[in-house]
Amino acid sequence: MYDMEARHVIEALRSGIPSRAVGQYFSDARPKIMKDISGRIDMAKDKGKSSGMIVSGKYGEGKTHLLNTVFNLAHSNNMVVSFLSLSKETPMDKLYLIYQKALQNTYLPGRQQPGFAGELEKISAGSPLANEMLPFAAKALETDKLYYLFRSYLNTEDMDEKFLLQADLEGDFVSNGSLKKICRRVLNQTIKYNENFSKTRHCGDYFTFMSHLFVQMGYDGWVILFDETELMGRLSKKARINAYRNMARFLLPDLCPENTFSLFALSSSYVEDVIEGKHEYANLENIYPISQEPAKTVLDMLVKAPQLLPLTKEEITSALCRIQDFHGKAYEWSPNVSAAALAESTQSGGYLLRTKIRAAIEFLDQLYQYGRAGKTVINELGEESFEEDVPSLEDI
């Protein structure tokens, strides 16, 4: 019988679409970077020391695959994971949109689907968790909005109100006026914030609140993964500078929420195209002439970000052999092909790791279906063509 998990892995590799399953089974490459990441995750988990990291690499060289590998590593360490891609709709200069996207894509350990509303609904007024979170929300945050919101959420019996307040915790923010009306009805008191809440200025409170909540729920921390970081380069000059300032909240230990580790995947061309090409250090001086931190530190981190180097010949051979094993399980056959022959099949796949893998899978597909394989050629556009007259399976 076909192994459906193996089939899923092969089809994900064939399509070139990054997959958590692929990250789970192909996780032994990039040992130096993975050792650093693993150490940072351990520090967040065991000692509560938060940090962040940026990695860069060329297109098709495995940045998103690395994020998926870290996703599985975090779940194996009982940590909550949020995985989001920066985009026009989720720009790094607007932290409240980042929070909303992160919460929409938050996965609890052992869960295949995002979401944690079910865990929120288990919290009752007067419970140890509630008694921990309410004083924290009242004293540890910049504003006390979340104190009143969470207290109202725990005490209201109106399901519409509960849904509205829960949506706020997930990033669909309730207006200050609406929240005050709910508090007046539920808590029987007129409230006044210590500082009027603004989602553009105080969204950091939500990250701090949620990171503390995850730990109090029994999880060992929060890992936040950012893909397509290079899309910041499409923002306006001032928006880019503000994006760097927001990145500092996830990268600098003094600014990070507790028990968190954040990882940004960045195109290696960003330094040349944006930081140097658009004169970001000069832009920073012009926009913030007096206080350039923390954006300057983030710019330095972007420039010095460790690169995903091309895999070694041994690493590629190991991955190809594993692909061959998965292909056999996926289609219930025994591809008795030497590592050298499989490696040779990728030579026409160009320089990108992604296209080399696709060439190897195409080679195995042809052997499986026809007992012989043509030569797969990847042109400059990444489109495949097929040439006859290559040895049959018996010849190999």
Answer yes or no: is 174 within a domain.
yes
Question: How confident is the model over 55-95, as pLDDT tens digits?
Answer: 998 887 788 888 988 999 999 999 999 999 999 999 999 99
Claim to verify: residue 322 and residue 376 sit in the same structural domain = yes
CA distance 60 to 353: 6
pLDDT digits (tens, 9 = 90+) for 112-156: 889 888 888 899 999 999 999 999 999 999 999 999 999 999 999
Per-residue confidence (pLDDT) for residue 382, from 0 to 100: 36
Sign of CA dihedral 366, 370, 371, 374: negative
In a domain, 21, yes or no: no
What does the block give as tokens for 335?
């591809």
Task: Identify whether 11 is part of a domain.
Answer: no
Residues 224 and 269 in one domain: yes
User: Where among 258, 273, 303 does a domain terminate?
Assistant: 303
Looking at the structure, tell me whether residues 224 and 103 fall in a common domain: yes
Looking at the structure, tell me whether residues 104 and 122 fall in a common domain. Answer: no
The separation between the first and the last C-alpha atoms of the chain, rounded to the nearest angstrom, is 26
**In this structure, are residues 130 and 165 in contact, taking their beta carbons and an 8 Å threshold?**
no
Among the listed residues 329, 323, 364, the one whose alpha carbon sits nearest the alpha carbon of residue 13: 323
pLDDT tens column, 185-214: 998 888 887 888 889 999 999 999 999 999
Using alpha carbons, select from 52, 106, 105 the residue that is nearest to residue 80: 106
CATH code, domain with 41 = 3.40.50
Residue 188: the pLDDT is 86
According to the model, what pLDDT value does residue 321 have?
Answer: 77
Q: What is the mean pLDDT of residues 31-56?
A: 92
Residues 87 and 231 in one domain: yes
Q: Is residue 293 part of a domain?
A: yes
Q: Which of 280, 303, 326 is at the close of a domain?
A: 303
238-294 pLDDT tens trace: 999 999 999 999 999 999 999 999 999 999 999 999 999 999 999 999 999 988 999
Distances in Å between the Cα of 13 and the Cα atoms of 18, 25, 26, 185 are 8, 12, 11, 55
What's the pLDDT at 2? 59
Element (H, E) at 360: helix 353-370
What are the beta bridge partners of residue 262?
A: 52, 224
Share above pLDDT 70 across residues of the chain, in percent, rounded to a whole number:
87
Q: How confident is the model at residue 362 (pLDDT cuts 50, 70, 90)?
A: confident
Neighbours of 76 (CB within 10 A): 11
**Confidence band for 349, pLDDT divided at 50, 70 and 90:** low
If pLDDT is split at 50, 70 and 90, which confidence band does 381 have?
Answer: very low
- How confident is residue 350, by pLDDT bands cut at 50, 70 and 90? low
Contact predicate 364/335, CB 8 Å: yes
Cα(181)–Cα(183) distance, integer angstroms: 5
Which residues form the domain of 167? 118-201
Question: 334 with 282, same domain?
Answer: no
Rounded-to-integer distance, Cα 42 and Cα 321, Å: 31
27 pLDDT band, cuts 50/70/90, is low
- Locate tokens 């945050």: which residue? 141
pLDDT for 195: 82
Instruction: Output the six-digit token pair for 153.
Output: 């959420």
Mark whether 147 and 286 lie in a shared domain.
Answer: no
Query: Are residues 126 and 191 located together in one domain of the fold?
Result: yes
Tell me, yes or no, whether 93 and 223 share the same domain: yes
| Mean pLDDT rounded to a whole number for the chain | 85
On whether residue 393 sits in a domain, the answer given is: no
In 3D space, the residue among 223, 230, 377 whose CA is nearest the CA of residue 305 turns out to be 230
Based on the domain organization, do 264 and 223 belong to the same domain?
yes
Answer yes or no: is pLDDT of 393 > 70. Answer: no
Looking at the fold, whether 383 and 351 belong to one and the same domain comes out as: yes
Number of domains in the chain: 3
Q: Which amino acid is at 380?
A: E
- Residues 224 and 105 both lie in one domain: yes
Q: What's the whole-model pTM score? A: 0.82
**Neighbour tally for 329: CB within 10 Å:** 17
279, 303, 327: which is the final residue of a domain?
303
Q: Is the confidence at residue 395, as pLDDT, over 80?
A: no
* Calpha distance 342→320 (Å, rounded): 7
Q: Is residue 12 part of a domain?
A: no
